[in-house]
Structure 1
Amino acid sequence: MFKNLELLVGDKLIRGDARIPDDGGRFPAVCFFHGFSVDRIGLMRLHELFARRCEKAGIACVKFDFYGCGESDGDFSEMRYTGEKQQARAIYEWTREQEWCDPSKLFLVGHSLGGAIASNIAPGLRPKAIVLWAPGNYVYYDISSRVHAVPGRYEEFYDVGGLKLSGEFISEVRGINIVEDARGYDGSVLIIHGEEDEKVPVYASGLYMDMYGPQAELEVIPGANHQFSSVAWKEKVYDLSIDFIKKHC
C-alpha cells in the first residue's frame, strides 16, 4: 500500500510517502532519511527502490523530503542541519503513532547526510537499531571543498549544482561534532560504505566504529561509490540492510 503524506513541523510543511505491507496489523517500520541536495527518491531511485524492497519484506518504510528539498515547501537556501534533525525527530514520532507501525520495531536508516542525522537523533529516540549508508560525518569538509569556502569569510550563498546553499549552513556544520553527537545510543548499528566513496571516504567510518565499539558492524562494498550506482551495489546495500532489520525483529 502506498500513501502520500504531509507533515507540519513547526511552521514548515514537508511531504513524503509511506509504503506499507498489505497484510494488515502492525509491522516493523523504517524511517529513511535522504542526503544532501537530493530527495526521498534518491539518485537513480536509490531510496525509492529500497522502500519497495522493504514493503516486499514485510517492513513499512516512511520517506520524507526535508524542507527545501524535493516536493516539500521552502527553498534549499533555508536548509540547516539542525532543522533537518528537528524534522527527522518529528517523522519518527509521527511514524511510531501510526496504527500500522509496531513501535517496538522502529528503525532509522539514512544515507550520507541523512545517515549523520539518523546517528544524531538515535540517542534521544532510542530506535530498535540503526543502519547508516556512508554516513556524512565528513559533510563540512566535502561541501566546503566543493564550493571553495574560506573559513571566517563565508559567502551569503553558494551555487551547488544549481541549488542555492546558504553560507550559514557551512558555518553551522563546522561547529558540530557529528560523531560525538551520536554518542549515547546503545542499540545495534550497521554501517555500509562503498570502498571507492568519493564524497565520504570509507576511512571516515572509522570514527563511528571507534565511538560505537562492539555494538557496530561495518560492511564495505568493493568498488562502490557514494551513490552505490550499479545494480549489484544497490542489491548488496538492500540485502544487508533488510537482513539486519529482520535479525533485530
Structure 2
Amino acid sequence: MKEHLWIASRRQRLSAMLHLPEGFKPGTPLLVLCHGFTGNKVGYNHLTLNLANFLEKAGYGVLRFDYIGSGDSDGDFATDTSITGWQEDLTNVLQWVDGQDQFATSPVVLYGHSLGGLVVLTHEDQIERVMGRIVFAPVTKPVANFQERIIGPELWQKSLRGEKIENFFDRGFTLYSQFVKGLATQDYDPISAASRLTTPLLIIHGTADVVVPLAGSQELYEQYQAPKEFVVTEFDHGATGKQAEFQQLIGRRLAGLLADAVPVAV
C-alpha cells in the first residue's frame, strides 16, 4: 500500500510517500529515506523509489520524502536548501512518525544517500525508536567534497562572493550563496557527530564513486564506536546498473542491523 502525505516543516509542506507492506502489523520496522543534494524522494534513475518498493515487498514500512525546496515539496531549491533546514525537515518527519499510533512500537531506521547521509549522521535523535542507520556514499567532509568535486572550486568561490550559482551537474539548478556560506562557516562534522551515536550503522560505498571519496567512509567506520559494518562495493555514486545488487545488500544486512539494536521479529 502506498499513500501520499503532506508533513509540516519550516512553515511549509513536505511531500512524502508512505509504503506499507501487506498485512502490516504493529512493531514492523519503518525505514525513513533521506535523499541527497539536488535529489528527491524518487532518486536518480529511481534509486530511492526502487529501494522503497523492494523493502515494502520484503515486509518493511518505508517513508520517503522531499526536503523543503526539493521534489514535490513546497519551497524553492535556490533559497530553502541548507543543512540546518534539512536537519529540521528530518526532525519534523520523525515527529510525524512518533505521533502515528500505527508506528507506536515500530523500530525506526534512518537511511541517507550522499548529503542525506550527512543529515542522518548529524541528526540528534528525538525519538527513542531510532534503532539504526544506513548511509550510502555519505558526505563526510562537506567543505572539501563540495569545493573539490560536487560543485567545483570555481562555483564554490563564486558563491562565497555572494553570487548565485546555476547549471551545476549540467542540470538547471540555481542556488543562492547561503548554502555554501553555511558549509564554510558552520562546523558540520558528521564523523565527529557520529562518534557519539549508539545506534548500529551500515556504511555502503563504491570504488567507482567519483563524486564523494571512499576515504571519508573508511574514516567514519574507524571512528564509529557502536556496532558497525562497512561494505565496499564496485558501485558508482548512484549504483548505476547495479540497483538490484544494492537492494539485496541492504535487505541482507537489515535484519542483522536491527538485531544489534533490539530483538525484532521481521
TM-score for the superposition, normalised by structure 2 = 0.86
The 8 Å contact of residues 113 and 135 in structure 2, kept in 1 or not, is answered as yes
State the aligned residue count: 246
Q: Secondary structure at the match of 2:45?
A: helix
TM-score for the superposition, normalised by structure 1 = 0.91
Q: Report the Cα offset of residue 77 of structure 1.
A: 1.1
Which residue of the partner structure matches residue 82 of structure 2?
80
Which residue of the partner structure matches residue 154 of structure 1?
161
Amino acid at match of 2:36: G
CA RMSD in angstroms comes to 1.9
Which residue of the partner structure matches residue 19 of structure 2?
19
The 8 Å contact of residues 30 and 108 in structure 1, kept in 2 or not, is answered as yes
- For structure 2, the residue ranges without an aligned partner over 5 or more in a row are 259-263
Once residues 142 and 130 of structure 1 are traced to their aligned partners in structure 2, the CA distance between those partners, rounded to angstroms, is: 21
How do 1:132-211 and structure 2 match up within 5 A? 132-145=135-148, 146-147=151-152, 148=154, 149-150=156-157, 153-159=160-166, 160=168, 161-174=171-184, 175=186, 176-211=188-223
Q: Report the Cα offset of residue 155 of structure 1.
A: 2.9
How do 1:101-112 and structure 2 match up within 5 A? 101=103, 103-112=105-114
Q: Structure 1 residue aligned with 2:249, among 232, 240, 248? A: 240
Q: Report the Cα offset of residue 152 of structure 1.
A: 9.1
Which residue of the partner structure matches residue 44 of structure 1?
45
Once residues 105 and 143 of structure 2 are traced to their aligned partners in structure 1, the CA distance between those partners, rounded to angstroms, is: 33
Q: Report the Cα offset of residue 62 of structure 1.
A: 0.2
The 8 Å contact of residues 158 and 164 in structure 2, kept in 1 or not, is answered as no
Which consecutive aligned stretches of 4+ in structure 1 deviate over 6 angstroms post-superposition? none
Q: Secondary structure at the match of 1:128?
A: strand
Name the one with the larger strand percent.
1
Which residue of the partner structure matches residue 121 of structure 1?
123
Once residues 160 and 107 of structure 2 are traced to their aligned partners in structure 1, the CA distance between those partners, rounded to angstroms, is: 46
The 8 Å contact of residues 38 and 70 in structure 1, kept in 2 or not, is answered as yes
Aligned sequence identity (%): 23
Once residues 210 and 123 of structure 1 are traced to their aligned partners in structure 2, the CA distance between those partners, rounded to angstroms, is: 22
Q: Secondary structure at the match of 2:208?
A: coil
Q: Secondary structure at the match of 2:53?
A: helix
The 8 Å contact of residues 80 and 169 in structure 1, kept in 2 or not, is answered as yes
Q: In the superposition, relative to structure 1, how do residues 91 and 214 fare at CA in structure 2: closer, same or farther (>3 Å)?
A: closer
Q: In the superposition, relative to structure 1, how do residues 150 and 10 fare at CA in structure 2: closer, same or farther (>3 Å)?
A: closer
Q: Report the Cα offset of residue 104 of structure 1.
A: 4.5
The reply to whether residue 90 of structure 1 matches residue 80 of structure 2 is no
Amino acid at match of 2:192: E
Once residues 16 and 123 of structure 1 are traced to their aligned partners in structure 2, the CA distance between those partners, rounded to angstroms, is: 20
Amino acid at match of 1:245: L
Q: Report the Cα offset of residue 124 of structure 1.
A: 4.8
Which residue of the partner structure matches residue 57 of structure 1?
58
Which residue of the partner structure matches residue 229 of structure 1?
240
Once residues 66 and 96 of structure 2 are traced to their aligned partners in structure 1, the CA distance between those partners, rounded to angstroms, is: 15
Q: Secondary structure at the match of 1:162?
A: coil
Amino acid at match of 2:248: D
Once residues 209 and 159 of structure 2 are traced to their aligned partners in structure 1, the CA distance between those partners, rounded to angstroms, is: 29
Amino acid at match of 1:82: T
Once residues 91 and 153 of structure 1 are traced to their aligned partners in structure 2, the CA distance between those partners, rounded to angstroms, is: 31
Once residues 187 and 40 of structure 1 are traced to their aligned partners in structure 2, the CA distance between those partners, rounded to angstroms, is: 24
